[in-house]
Chains A and B, each alone.
Chain A
Amino acid sequence: MSEEQNTRKNKCKRVALVLALLVLSALLTYAVDLLLRPKYMGEVTEGALTAEYYQAKGRHQVLFVGDCEVYENFSTVQLWREFGINSFIRGGAQQLVWQSYYLLEDALRYETPDVVVFNVLSLMYNEPQNEAYNRMALDGMRWNSSKWNAIKASMCEDENMIDYIFPILRYHSRWNELTSEDFKYWFTKDTVSFNGYYLRTEIMPAGEMPPARPLADPKFGDYAMAYLDLMTELCQEKGIKLVLIKSPSLYPHWYEEWDEQMVEYAKAHDLLYINMLNIAESEIGIDYNVDTYDAGLHMNVTGAEKCASFLGKILVEKYGITSARGDKKLEAYWAEVEKRYDEAKNA
C-alpha cells in the first residue's frame, strides 16, 4: 500500500470515528434530555395532552380546539357512547388562539374531520401569556412548520426558539427535582386523557363569582382575531364545518360585548355560534351544584357528559354526522378507552 493510500485510509478512519462519536454523544444527550423533561404524569397532566393526539386511532369526525373550556368540559367518551362519534380534543391549559390554530393545522396533516369545534374564550388574549403554558401546549407537538410557527407566535419576551428545539436547555435545571416518576416514564408514557378529555370527578358547587370588571377595550384584539380568521379560512378550504362555542364555564366572565362580536362574526362567516352559557341550565341541564369540580370554573365528569350529549345532538342533527361504529379496530380502541374511563370515573 502506498503512503498516500495509507494517510487517506487514516483520514477516513478518523472521520468515521468522529462521526460515530458524534452520533453516540447525540443519543446520550437525547436520553438525558428525555429524563429531564417534565413528564406530566402524576401531576399537571394537562401537559401530556398535546402529545396524546398522535396515539389516538381512526379518523376523527369531530375535532375540538381551545383551552380548558373544551378539554375539561366535553366528554369524548359520551360522544362515542351516545352517538358513535369518534372525536378528539386538541386543547390545553390556557391554549391561546394561535396555538389552537396551529394545533388544528398540525392535525389536518393527518386527517380531515367533518366538524371542528372551537371554544372562543381564548380570544380575550391578544398576546403571549405564560411560558409554562406555552411549553405544555407546544412541547408535545411533532416537529413540522406548524410547530415552528406556533412557537414563534407564542413566545414570551424571555423565551428562545432554541429552548424548544433542544428542550434540555430549558429543563436542565430540573436535575435536582427529579423524582421516581421521571425515571419511570423516561422512555414510555401512560395515556392520561380520554381522546383529549381530562376527567375530574370531584364536586364543588359553584358559589358567588367575583364581579366582572369593566372592560377597558371591549373589542377582541387584532392578533387574536387574525388567527380566528385563519382558522375559518383553513376550515373552509378543507371543507370542514367550523362551530364556535362558548362553553358553560362561569369564570372568566364572558362579557355581553364579546358575545355580540361572536354573534356578528358567525353571521358574517356563515358559522354556527353556540353560547352554551346562556342555556346551560335550561337546555343542557347543567346543575352548578353538582356538575362542576371547582366551583363553576370547569365541569366535572357529569357536567362534561351533559355538554357532550347536548353538542352531539346538534352535530348529528345539523351536520349529519353518523355513527362510526362497525369499524372493529375503532371499536376495540374505544372499548379500551371506555374501560379506563369507567375505572377513573368510579375511582
Chain B
Amino acid sequence: MLFTSYQFIGFVILLVALYYVLPKKAKWPLLLLGSYVFYFFAGWKFLFYIAGVTVITYVAALLISRNKNRADARFAELKALEKSGEGAPEECGKEARKRYKESQKKKRRRIMGVGITIALLILAVVKYTNFTIHNINGLLSAFGSSQRIGFLTIALPMGISFYTFQAVSYVIDVYRERHEAQKNFFKYALFVGFFPQLVQGPISRYGDLAKELFTPHPFNGRVLERGLERVIWGYFKKVVIADRILTAVNTMIDTPENYKGVYVFLVMMFYALELYADFTGGIDITIGIAEMLGIPMKENFERPFFSKNIAEYWRRWHITMGTWFTDYIFYPISVSGPMLKLGKWSRKHLGEKVGKRIPVYLASFIVWFTTGIWHGASWNFIVWGLGNFVVIMISQELEPLYRRFHKRFHTDGSTTYKTFQVGRTVLLMSALRLFDCYRDVPLTFKMFGTMFTTWNWKSFGNGTLLELGLVRSDYVILGLGTILLIVVSMIGRSGSVRDKMEKKIPFAGRWAIFYVLTLVIIVFGAYGLGYDAAQFIYNQF
C-alpha cells in the first residue's frame, strides 16, 4: 500500500474514523491491528521479520529491566546487611558492592549485545548478503578464479531498516536506563510497527513516542484539522512536484551517454528537488496522520537547504536518523576505552591540535560509512556516505581560514555571505546525491566530470528540455510549486506556518486554502493511468 494509492487513503480515513468512534480501551489495539494490516498488504511474508525483531528486542529489554530491578534490590539488601553487621565479609564494603553492581551491568550489557546483534543480523542478512556475494565474486574474478557464488533470492522487507533501528534504540535505551522496558508485548509491538513511520521513518525513540501512542485521544476538531493540513501539504509535495520531476530525472539517468555536461547539472538540481519533495512530503504525510490521531511525532526536517554548511545540513535533514547514528554509533565508539586511549596517544605524539582530531575523525568515518551502507547495499551509497565525511572534515579544517577571512573583510553574518553559504550547501549536497542517480561509482565520477568538459549550455535554449518527458506546462507547474515550497519555508523560519494561519485566518479561509491545495493535487498531481506509480524514494532503504 503506497502512500499515494487509493487503498492507503481509504485505509487511513477508515482508521481515523474508527479510532475516534471506538471506546478508549480499544484505541491503541486498533492502531496495532491497523499497522499489521498495513504491513500485511506489503507482503504477508514480511510479517515474520517485523514480528521476529519485535519479539527478540522485547525479550532482551525485559531481561535487562528484570536484571536491573533484581540487582538494585540485592544492592540495597547488601547495604542493609552490612549496616546490621549480618553481611558476608566478602560482600561487604563499598568496593565489593561496586564490583557486584558492575558485574550485573556487564550481564545486562551482554543481554543487550545479544539482542541487538540478532536484530541487526537479520537486517544484515536480508540487506547485505547479495552485496557481499557480489563483492566476493568480484574478488574471485580479480584473482583469476572462475568460481562464482550464487545470489540469494531475498526480498527486502518493507521498512526493515527503520523498524530495526527503532527496536535497537529501544533496547539500548532500556540498558541506559532512559526508560523502563514495556511489559505489554502488544504495546511494544505497536511502537515498533506503528504504520505511518514504517515506510520511511521518522525513526522514533520509545521515550518520545510511546506514551502518546498508548494514550487514548478523544476527538478534537482542531487536532484533526491540523493533521489533515499537514497531510495535504505532504501530498502536494509528493504528488505534484516529486512524482512529476521524476520523469525527467529518470530519462536523463537511464541513458547517461545522451545526457552529459549541463544535463548532469540538471540531474543534480532536479534530483535534489525530487528527493526533497518526496522525502519531506512523505514525512509530512506520516507526521500528519499521527497528528490526526492526536499523536505528536518528532520532526525529521528543519528546512535543511537553508543550512550554512554540511554539518548543519545533517543536523536538519533526516534528523531522527542523524541523532540515531550520533547516539548509538558515534558516541559509543568515540568514548570507548580504546578510542580514548588512541586519543591520548595521538595527542601525545602528534600534538594537541592534530591529536584530538584523530579519534573524532575515526569515529566520524565509521558513522558515515555505516550511514552510507544503511541507505543501500551498494558502493554508490558507501562512497556517498564517505563523501559527506570528507566534505564535513574539510569544512572543519577550513574553519580557521574562514574566521580569518571574515575578520579581514567583515563578511560574517552579511546577507550576501549567508546566501553564498546556502547556495554552497545546496550545490554540495546535490552533487553528492549524484551517487543516488547513476548506476555505479565510476560512472558517477565520469558524469560529474563531464560537467566541466562538455559545454552544451545551448541545450537550454533549443527545446531539448522538452524531450525529457515533461512538457512546457509541467515545467510551469514545477516552477510555481518550487516557489511555493520556498515561500512556505521562508514563512516557517519564524515558527509553524499552521500556527500562524490559525491565528490570522478564520476557519473558512483555511478551509478555502486547503481545499484549493487539494484540488491542485487532484488536478495537477502526477498520478493515475499514464503516470508510473513512483514509490517513495526512501521506501527501499
Contact = CB atoms under 8 A, between A and B. Distances in A.
Q: Tell me if chains A and B make direct contact, with any CB pair below 8 A.
A: yes
B487 interface: no
Contacts of A346: none
B528 A17 contact: no
Interface in B456-502: 471, 473-474
A163 B519 contact: no
Nearest to A161: B6
A209 to B, nearest CB: 33
A89 interface: no
Interface string A6-17: 000000001001
B530 A173 contact: yes
A190 interface: no
A168 B522 CA distance: 8
Interface stretch (B192-200, B348-356, B507-515): B507-515
Contact of A175 (B507, B523, B529): B523
B227 to A, nearest CB: 16
A189 interface: no
B400 interface: no
Interface string A286-297: 000000000000
Given A25-B515, A32-B519, A163 B508 contact: no
A162 B508 CA distance: 28
Given A21-B508, A21-B511, A162-B6, A170 B528 contact: yes
Contacts of A188: none
Interface in A159-179: 159-160, 162-163, 168-170, 172-173, 175-176
Contacts of A170: 528-529
A36 interface: yes
Given A21-B511, A36-B523, A172 B528 contact: yes
Contact of B528 (A21, A32, A169): A169
B519 A29 contact: yes
Given A14-B221, A21-B511, A176-B471, A158 B529 contact: yes
Nearest to A24: B515
Nearest to A21: B511
Given A14-B221, A131-B529, A170-B528, A32 B511 contact: no
A173 B524 CA distance: 7
B522 A169 contact: yes
Interface residues of B, number: 18
Contacts of B221: 14
B507 to A, nearest CB: 7
A172 B531 CA distance: 12
Interface residues on A, range: 20 to 34
A160 B6 contact: yes
B525 interface: yes
A332 B508 CA distance: 51
Contacts of B529: 131, 158-159, 163, 170
A21 B524 CA distance: 22
B528 A163 contact: yes
B520 to A, nearest CB: 10
Contacts of A162: 6
Contacts of A176: 471, 473-474
A173 to B, nearest CB: 6
Contacts of A29: 519, 522
Contact of B524 (A14, A25, A175): A175
Interface centre among B474, B507, B531 (most CB of A within 10 A): B507
B6 A32 contact: no
Contacts of B530: 173
Contacts of B519: 28-29, 32
Nearest to B474: A176
Contacts of B511: 21, 25
B17 to A, nearest CB: 15
A17 B508 contact: yes
Contacts of B6: 160, 162, 169
B508 A173 contact: no
Contacts of A36: 523
A173 B473 CA distance: 11
Contacts of A168: 522-523
Contacts of A159: 529
Nearest to B514: A25
A32 B523 contact: yes
A281 to B, nearest CB: 43
A340 B387 CA distance: 74
A175 B507 CA distance: 29
A107 to B, nearest CB: 29
Nearest to A171: B528
A300 B300 CA distance: 66
Contacts of A172: 522-525, 528
Contacts of B531: 173
A21 B525 CA distance: 23
A172 B511 CA distance: 22
Contacts of B523: 32, 36, 168, 172, 175
B92 to A, nearest CB: 67
Nearest to A22: B511
Nearest to A172: B523
Nearest to B525: A172
19 contacts: A14-B221, A21-B508, A21-B511, A25-B511, A25-B515, A28-B515, A28-B519, A32-B523, A36-B523, A158-B529, A169-B6, A169-B522, A169-B528, A170-B528, A170-B529, A173-B530, A173-B531, A175-B524, A176-B471
List of 5 A-B pairs having minimum Cβ-Cβ separation, nearest first: A176-B473, A172-B523, A21-B511, A25-B515, A162-B6
